[in-house]
Structure 1
Amino acid sequence: MESVEAVVAHIQALSGSHEEVADLHSLLKQSEGALRSRAARLGPFLHQLDPSAHTLGYLFLLEAYSSRPISRELDEKILPFIVGFINSCSAEQIRLAPEKFISVCKSLKDQVMQLQVPIRGITPLRTAIRKLQTSSEQLTTLHSDYLLLCLLAKFYKAGLSILDDDIFEVDQPRDHFLYCYYGGMINIGLKRFRKALGCLHNVVTAPMDALIVIAVEAYKKYILVSLILNGQVPPFPKYTSSTAQRNLKRHTQPYIDLADCYATGTFSELEACIQTNLEKFQSDSNVGLVKQVLSSLYKCNIQRLTQTYLTLSLQDIANASQLKTPNDAEMHVLQMIQDAEISASINQKDGMVSFHEDPEQYKICGMIEPIDSLIQRLMELSKKLSSLDEQISCDLAHLTRIGKERPRLD
């Protein structure tokens, strides 16, 4: 068993060329047992190495040093080592031992959570994700950890830096579930309900052989966000797994009841339903969303009026949408006009509201650039899907499975 001093000497001598680093990698794997058995003594040796010049060796020592049980006092001492390493390390060398790098980054996440300072881990983890990725289309196991820290720190906008990426490469299904679930929660925090609905939809409709807890929790929020955004919950798409279609509603009955009450358009019934299930909503930490569902019923009722009437008085709107006064109705209508949810004008003199057709004619020059950008993105997505389809159709494992299932399907 080599001493730590000898291992450090090898690291300093073999961190130059690709060939030397490959030899060093083999030596380090043979020395893992020695490093772990002396984990408590590795701190001083890290000072002898440069994380940018000796990335691979530093990583092996740091992973062994940070993986042992650590007290709260030692957390503060180890954090600078990890943060400094993530900022300085060579992306090429960490990809030689990605499981080690992920372990170090997860230690960072655990430590900032234990210290109750999740915001300190956000920037380092974002840097770690970019260094670990081979492209922005790859979902790493660190994505969900990063989003979790953004949620705990209530620094939602930081999550958008990776949520706005198009993801096509997923190694582990669990990573995808957590990424979409946390992404949905971050978008809810930013009131980007359409984006949130897309993330939660991906969890609910993802392939699953057995019902998982995260899908149940995602469906609860999916129901609430659907009501806030669209006033109704859509049926499951055909591609939703049979497991989800059979079981999700059974495990979310209070939320199904809420959606049924919402469909009646009666504020008192919806309020009574919320009170009946309030304890359940509280235990699920969904009370904030439920309150937004309640307030959105006014908006939904007003939108229904625009489908029937061209002109209504504020008093009629207040009566039909169950608002207390015409002033309340005016405030809601003005907010909906501002949010582009309806097109209308208010005559202050006689208290009448006129509903209009969508005034957007899509002829202005400002529309050309965003439409062109969207078309280009769709073309790139189409090419990507064609490439993935070709890869799957040539995959031996896929062809073997289809071959076995063909007699049953026939």
Structure 2
Amino acid sequence: MESVDAVVAHIQGLSGSPEEVSQLHSLLKQSEDALRSQAARLAPFLDQLDPSTHTLGYLFFLEACLSEPNSSEQAGYFNPYVVDFINSCSIEQMRLAPEKFISVCKSLKDQVMQFEVPIRGIAPLRTAIRKLQTSSEQLTTLHSDYLILCLLAKCYKAGLSILDDDIFDIDQPRDLFLFCYYGGMINIGLKRFRKALECLHNVITAPMTSLNAIVVEAYKKYILVSLILNRQVPPFPKYASPTVQRNLKGYTQPYIDLANCYATGTFSELEACIQTNLEKFQSDNNLGLVKQVLSSLYKHNIQRLTQTYLTLSLEDIANATQLETPKEAEMHVLRMIEDSEIFATINQKDGMVSFQEDPEQYKTCAMIEHIDSSIQSLMVLSRKLSSLDEHISCDPAYLTKIGKERQKFDFDEFDSVTHKFL
């Protein structure tokens, strides 16, 4: 067994050409157990290595240091080393041991969460994701770690830097569930409810053979966001897993009851339902979202009025939507105008509201650019789907399964049918 000094010498001497690094990789794997057994005395050797030049060796040493159980203070000692390594490491060398790189990054995530300073891990993990990815379409196991830090730090906009990527390459199903679930929560925090609904929809419609806690929690939020955005919860699509269609509603009954009360449009019934299930909503950390559902009922009732009336007094709006005073009605109308949820003007003198049509004519340069961008995105997606379809059609496992299915049919029966038409 080589000494630690000898391993350091190998790292310093074999970190040049790809051939040397490959040889070093073999040597380091042989020394891995020895490094772990001496983890407590490896820290000083990190200062003898350059993370940008000796990336592979530095990674083996750093991962060994972090693998030993340490006190929180001792573990926190390595955080600056981890951050410096992530920022300066060579991508080519790092990708020879990606599992160790992931382990080091997750250690950083755990530490900043333990010290309750999640914001310190956001920038390093974003850099780590970009270095680990072979393309922006790849979902790594660090994506969900990054998003949970954004959530805990309430830096929701930072999460958009990876949420806006189109993901097609997924290794582990759990990574997809967590990525979409946390993505839904971040979009809820930003009040991007349509995007949140897309993320949560991806969780509950992903292929699965059994329910998991992530899917159950995602469906609870899916119900609430659907009510806020669309006033109703859509049925499960046909492509949703039979497991989801049969069992998921049984785990979310208080939320189903809430949706049924919401459908009546009666504020008092909805409020009573919330009070009945208040403890459940609180324990699920969904009470804030439930209150937004309650508030949205006023909005949807006001929106219904715009479909019937051209003008209406604030007092009539308050009565029709079960608001207590015309002043409350005015505040709701003003917020909805500001958010472009309705188009209206308020005459302060007589307290009348005039409802108007959407002024968008869809002929401005900005709108044309938006439409063109959407068309280009659809064309890219279409090409991607065609490529995936071609890849699946050539997959041996798929062809074997299809072959077995075809054997179930009796081709003599088809021949007899064909002869009738000859």
TM-score category (smaller protein): over 0.9
Offset, 1:341: 1.0
After TM superposition, list the pairs within 5 Å mapping 1:317-328 onto structure 2.
Answer: 317-328=317-328
2:289 is the alignment partner of 1:289: yes
Paired residue secondary structure (1:214): helix
Question: Which amino acid in 2 is paired with 1:45?
Answer: F
Post-superposition CA distance 1:129-158 (Å, at most 9, x none): 010001111100000001011111111111
Tell me the distance in 1 between the aligned counterparts of 2:124 and 2:334. Answer: 43
Bigger mean CA offset, 400-409 vs 161-170: 400-409
Q: What's the counterpart of residue 377 of structure 1?
A: 377
Contact 2:63 2:104 in 1 (8 A): yes
CA contact (8 A) 2:257 2:273 kept: yes
Note the C-alpha offset of 1:160: 0.9
- 1:341 corresponds in structure 2 to 341
CA drift at 1:367: 1.4
Shift of 1:117: 1.3
- Partner residue in 2 for 1:167: 167
Alpha-carbon distance between aligned partners in 2 of 1:12 and 1:58, rounded to the nearest angstrom? 10
Spell out, residue by residue over 1:75-107, the C-alpha distance to the aligned partner (whole angstroms, 9 max, x if none).
231111111111110011111111111011111
Is 1:394 the counterpart of 2:378? The answer is no
1:8 aligns with 2:8: yes
Q: Which protein has the larger Cα radius of gyration, Structure 1 or Structure 2? A: 2
| C-alpha separation in 2, matches of 1:186 and 1:62 | 32
- Secondary structure at the residue paired with 1:216? helix
**Alpha-carbon distance, 1:357 to partner:** 2.5
1:4-62 CA-partner distances (Å, limit 9, x unpaired) = 11111111111110111111111111111111111111101111111100101111111
User: Could you say if the C-alpha distance between residues 2 and 174 of structure 1 is closer, same or farther in structure 2, counting changes exceeding 3 Å?
Assistant: same
- Taking the TM superposition and a 5 Å limit, the aligned residue runs for 1:65-80 are 65-80=65-80
1:352 paired residue number = 352
Deviation, 1:282, is 0.6
Which residue does 1:28 correspond to in 2? 28
Quickly say closer, same or farther: Cα 1:409–1:313, change in 2 above 3 A.
Answer: farther
- 1:187 matches 2:187: yes
Identity of aligned residues (%): 81
Question: Which whole-Å CA distance do the structure 1 matches of 2:83 and 2:388 have between them?
Answer: 36
Instruction: Give the corresponding residue for 2:417.
Output: none
Q: CA–CA distance in 1 between the matches of 2:76 and 2:36?
A: 21
The whole-number CA distance in structure 1 between the counterparts of 2:82 and 2:315 is: 63
Rounded Cα–Cα distance in structure 2 between residues aligned with 1:77 and 1:115 = 12
Contact 2:66 2:75 in 1 (8 A): no
Q: Secondary structure at the match of 1:323?
A: coil
2:84 aligned with 1:106: no
**3-state DSSP of counterpart to 1:353:** strand
- State the distance in 1 between where 2:330 and 2:406 align: 62
Offset of residue 409 of structure 1: 9.0
Matches within 5 A, 1:117-128: 117-128=117-128
* DSSP-derived class of the 2:312 partner: strand
TM-score, with normalisation over the residues of structure 1? 0.97
Q: Deviations over 1:284-313 (max 9, x none)?
A: 000100111111110011112222233322
Aligned length: 410
Q: Which runs of 5+ in 1 are unaligned?
A: none
2: CA distance, partners of 1:397 / 1:132: 29
**Once structures 1 and 2 are overlaid, which stretch shifts more, 384-393 or 205-214?**
384-393
Alpha-carbon spacing, 1:235–1:101, altered in 2? closer, same or farther (3 Å): same
Change (3 A) 1:312 1:208: same
Cα RMSD of the aligned pairs, angstroms, is 1.4
Compared CA separation, residues 397 and 338, structure 1 to 2 (3 A)? same
Deviates more, 1:182-191 or 1:272-281: 182-191
Q: Distance in 2 between matches of 1:394 and 1:281?
A: 48
**Separation in structure 2 between the aligned mates of residue 49 and residue 205 of structure 1, nearest angstrom:** 48
In the aligned structure 1, how far is the partner of 2:235 from the partner of 2:286?
A: 22
Distance in structure 1 (CA, Å) of the matches to 2:45 and 2:350: 81
> Who is 1:208 aligned against?
208
CA distance in 2 between counterparts of 1:26 and 1:185 reads: 43
Residues 194 and 408 (structure 1), Cα distance of their counterparts in 2 relative to 1, 3 Å cut:
farther
Are 2:251 and 1:248 aligned? no
Q: Normalising by structure 2, what TM-score?
A: 0.94
Structure 2 stretches lacking a partner, 5+ long: 411-422
Deviation at 1:408, TM superposition (A): 6.0
- Partner Cα distance (2:48, 2:377) in 1: 48
Contact 2:200 2:218 in 1 (8 A): yes
